[in-house]
Amino acid sequence: MRNETRDIATMDEATARAELTELARQLAEADAAYHQKDAPILSDAEYDALRRRNAAIEAAFPDLKRADSPSDRVGAPVADGFSKVTHAVRMMSLSNAFDEGDVTDFDTSIRKYLGLGSDAPLAYTAEPKIDGLSLSLRYENGALVQAATRGDGAVGENVTANARTIRDIPQHIDDAPEVLEVRGEVYMSHADFSALNDRQNAAGAKTFANPRNAAAGSLRQLDSAITRARPLRFFAYSWGALSEPLAQTQEQAIARLARMGFSTNPLTRRCDTTEDMIAHYRDIEAQRATLGYDIDGVVYKVDDLALQSRLGFRSTTPRWAIAHKFPAELAWTRLERIEIQVGRTGALSPVARLSPVTVGGVVVSNATLHNEDYIAGRDSKGGEIRAGKDIREDDWVQVYRAGDVIPKVADVDLSRRPDTAQPYAFPDTCPECGSAAVREEGDAVRLCSGGMICPAQAVEKLKHFVSRAAFDIDGLGAKQVEQFHSDGWIAEPADIFTLKDRYGPGRMVQLKNREGWGEKSAQKLFDAIEDKRKIPLGRVIFALGIRHVGEAASNLLARHYGSWSDFETAISAAGALEGAEWDDLLSIDGIGSVMARSLVTAFAQDSERASIDRLAAHLDIEEVARVDTSQSPVAGKTVVFTGTLEKMTRAEAKARAESLGAKVSGSVSAKTDILIAGPGAGSKAKKAAELGIDTLDEDGWLTLIGDA
């Protein structure tokens, strides 16, 4: 690459300044193309190389770092100009199936959740998964009143004027419920895509990388006259807010949308068995190349809408649907080197740096290598993977992408292995801080023992702390955290909350005097930090970045303990790994022993605990919002289900109880408020009786919660 020809060590200031200017320009252009125009102009590898080059020159010439340095920017802001729309019903994504086994598992888990035997009839619909972008269309009394993109699922962009230009989208519909929100996919056909690119070329304008980017770029035009000139199409496949049900089954609902004038996919079928589903998948796969538009899999949905509503949603995906993806594309390339990254928990993660190669339309230059066993050709139980072939630097490897996941190595070509290639020696010291890197019995991961003295761990912990699902502080992203950490301004999360006292107005060193920060942006940052002192308990637990304790588990813990003080008292007391608090922790459905151990170890470790305490002292941690007790007789109560339930499954009962604000525990203790005992209840019922705990049968429970 042209930028990498000059040696930085012998570079003079004028040349460095000129190159930084050029890099800032190129990166800003690439960011805008990627984030605002959905039309990337650089491959991932080229983009990364430019950023690395920029960082290297800045490191050699710190005084030349520009006020608008690309190092201080994380991507580009979303396109200005569209107003925001809060979706009445969140727009979800789909979980994925990659093979037939995943499809049968999907069917099995649904049957289990619903309490259906393996032979009970259970129909699904199967239809192509369109590779475009989802759009929500709101109709009131039959008139289109709003169109919104998915955005982050909760809030999207208002693109009503643009949606009105799409021919497949009716402006008015007859025979519609008072409120009807139709959802579907905006896409561009192959023929329209290539004609558009020809026109763009002829006009000297930018061309699009693929039909999906072209569709996204065309829909998100501030001038709807441009959208009108772009040949966009729309398939309707689901719905959001509704004033009355559309139909009783998915198939009928789609047929009704078709009668209202929406385009629906002609390859939608009703399937009575998983064999039918897979046969239809094969059929669609065989037609994929001749459909004339991009699809990336097949979506299966439970047909009966009453069952869909019983199944409900996980945090971001419905339980009643899954996307069966087409197999990943593969490509061979050379593995140049193996690098070790140290994460927030101290895990040493090996990454393959590859000669850039295109896999399914995307340039890939990195792949994950998971852990040392994976490199050696073994799985976590010592069995062979890749027929036992290890991975070495200079090997030719086959890489693949499946869905949006990080690329992986599928295979190694031993016939092309150079004689000089040596088995990879996994480090037993941390490459970042030199501390011993230790692997515990039964753990595939080697962990740096340096804790917060390890700069990599510290900075990754801080990045996690400010991430979206954690503290999510506006203006304090990964880049800023890296900068503040490397300059010694923040060493641990608590320091974020003293930043203003130390560097804010009236102090000798002021944030606004730093390069890249003005008075306004500094004040905005302090305000944003101030804003997050008051924070929900689940976010705080997640933000601590404790190994194995993810977002869902953090919310379970928050719901179970209710307040920070109850949580930290209980977790400290559970440190003995035995006794009432330990048992209580393990009784939480969804918290296993590995996670529990990791959690109590973090709280028992002196320096980590001290750092947590320093943080908590700056916060006003909100208790978990309880469901209105006047309407939910079980809010805040701890309930245990035992024995056989006859009107619903255990999973369903648990989800329902939790939605009413109850805590569901797996074992009876003095903290249990209600035991729901079905036929066959044994020791738990006995224990509850001994403890004098209220015991109900299933009907009694349904009456109590008003579901009878």
| Catalytic positions, written as ranges | 129
Non-local CB neighbours of 511 within 8 Å, separated by 6+ positions: 499, 503, 504, 517, 522, 525, 526
Of 123-131, 138-146, 354-362, 480-488, which segment contacts ligand IVH by CB under 6 A? Answer: 123-131
Question: Of 227, 280, 313, 381, nearest to 288 (Cα)?
Answer: 280
Q: Does 611 bind ligand IVH (CB under 6 A)?
A: no
Q: Does 238 bind ligand IVH (CB under 6 A)?
A: yes
Question: What are phi and psi for residue 9, nearest 5 degrees?
Answer: -60, -30
**Which is closer to ligand IVH, CB of 16 or CB of 246?**
246
Return the residue of 130, 232, 437, 473 that touches ligand IVH, per CB under 6 A.
Answer: 130
Q: Does 127 bind ligand IVH (CB under 6 A)?
A: yes
Of 32-40, 92-100, 454-462, 557-565, which segment contacts ligand IVH by CB under 6 A? Answer: 92-100
E runs forming strands in 407-531? 408-412, 437-439, 446-448
Question: Of 151, 198, 114, nearest to 655 (Cα)?
Answer: 114
Q: Does 134 bind ligand IVH (CB under 6 A)?
A: yes
Residue 332: how many CB atoms within 10 A of its CB? Answer: 14
**Which is closer to ligand IVH, CB of 127 or CB of 460?**
127
Non-local CB neighbours of 202 within 8 Å, separated by 6+ positions: none
From the centroid of its chain, how far is CA 117?
33
Q: Does 215 bind ligand IVH (CB under 6 A)?
A: no
SS (HEC) of 642-674: ECCCCCCCHHHHHHHHHHCCCEEECCCCCCCCE
Return the residue of 19, 58, 157, 185 that touches ligand IVH, per CB under 6 A.
Answer: 185
Q: In the numeric block, which tokens belong to residue 312? A: 């409900």
Q: Does 93 bind ligand IVH (CB under 6 A)?
A: yes
CB of 403 to ligand IVH, least distance (A): 8
CB of 156 to ligand IVH, least distance (A): 11
**Which is closer to ligand IVH, CB of 238 or CB of 365?**
238
Using CB positions, name the residue nearest to ligand IVH.
Answer: 134
Return the residue of 47, 124, 208, 237 that touches ligand IVH, per CB under 6 A.
Answer: 237
Q: In the numeric block, which tokens belong to residue 623? A: 């208790």
Q: Does 92 bind ligand IVH (CB under 6 A)?
A: yes
Q: Does 151 bind ligand IVH (CB under 6 A)?
A: no
SS3 content of the chain, % helix, strand, coil (to 5): 40, 20, 40
C-alpha Rg value of the chain to the nearest Å: 28
**Which is closer to ligand IVH, CB of 318 or CB of 350?**
318
CB of 540 to ligand IVH, least distance (A): 30
Q: In the numeric block, which tokens belong to residue 553? A: 């588990």
Residue 618: is it exposed, middle or buried by C-beta count within 10 angstroms (0-12/13-18/19+)?
A: middle
**Which is closer to ligand IVH, CB of 297 or CB of 678?**
297
Quote the CA–CA distance of 325 and 417 in Å, as a whole number. 32
CA 642 → CA 387, 388, 638, 650, 697, distances in Å?
Answer: 45, 45, 13, 9, 10
Question: Of 559, 518, 547, nearest to 446 (Cα)?
Answer: 547
- Helices and strands counted in the chain (H then E): 25, 24
CB of 507 to ligand IVH, least distance (A): 47
Return the residue of 37, 65, 87, 129 that touches ligand IVH, per CB under 6 A.
Answer: 129
Of 124-132, 160-168, 201-209, 252-260, which segment contacts ligand IVH by CB under 6 A? Answer: 124-132
**Which is closer to ligand IVH, CB of 297 or CB of 350?**
297
CB of 523 to ligand IVH, least distance (A): 38
**Which is closer to ligand IVH, CB of 33 or CB of 130?**
130
Footprint on residues 443-482 left by ligand IVH (CB under 6 A): none
CB of 270 to ligand IVH, least distance (A): 14
CB of 232 to ligand IVH, least distance (A): 15
**Which is closer to ligand IVH, CB of 278 or CB of 640?**
278
Q: Does 239 bind ligand IVH (CB under 6 A)?
A: no
Which residue shows structure tokens 């060590």? 9
Quote the CA–CA distance of 24 and 21 in Å, as a whole number. 5
Q: Does 240 bind ligand IVH (CB under 6 A)?
A: no
Footprint on residues 313-342 left by ligand IVH (CB under 6 A): 318, 321, 323
**Which is closer to ligand IVH, CB of 321 or CB of 437?**
321
Of 10-18, 90-98, 561-569, 607-615, which segment contacts ligand IVH by CB under 6 A? Answer: 90-98
Q: Does 110 bind ligand IVH (CB under 6 A)?
A: no
Of 127-135, 194-202, 487-495, 621-629, which segment contacts ligand IVH by CB under 6 A? Answer: 127-135
Non-local CB neighbours of 300 within 8 Å, separated by 6+ positions: 103, 106, 124, 125, 126, 271, 277, 321, 322, 324
Q: In the numeric block, which tokens belong to residue 139? A: 């109709």
CA 594 → CA 248, 549, 586, 597, 702, distances in Å?
Answer: 43, 10, 10, 5, 34
Helix (H, G, I), strand (E, B) or coil at 564: helix
Which residue shows structure tokens 């340039």? 363
Of 128-136, 158-166, 491-499, 564-572, which segment contacts ligand IVH by CB under 6 A? Answer: 128-136
CB of 138 to ligand IVH, least distance (A): 16
Helix (H, G, I), strand (E, B) or coil at 432: coil
- Report which secondary-structure segment, H or E, holds 353: strand 348-359
Total residues interacting with ligand IVH, rule: CB under 6 A: 14
Of 126-134, 197-205, 436-444, 570-578, which segment contacts ligand IVH by CB under 6 A? Answer: 126-134
**Which is closer to ligand IVH, CB of 183 or CB of 547?**
183
Q: Does 299 bind ligand IVH (CB under 6 A)?
A: yes
Report whether 136 contacts 148 (CB < 8 A).
yes
**Which is closer to ligand IVH, CB of 26 or CB of 265?**
265
Quote the CA–CA distance of 251 and 264 in Å, as a whole number. 11
CB of 589 to ligand IVH, least distance (A): 25
**Which is closer to ligand IVH, CB of 186 or CB of 612?**
186
CB of 627 to ligand IVH, least distance (A): 24
Quote the CA–CA distance of 647 and 665 in Å, as a whole number. 20
Q: Does 137 bind ligand IVH (CB under 6 A)?
A: no
CB of 224 to ligand IVH, least distance (A): 22
Residues found near ligand IVH in the complex (CB under 6 A): 92-94, 127, 129-130, 134, 185, 237-238, 299, 318, 321, 323
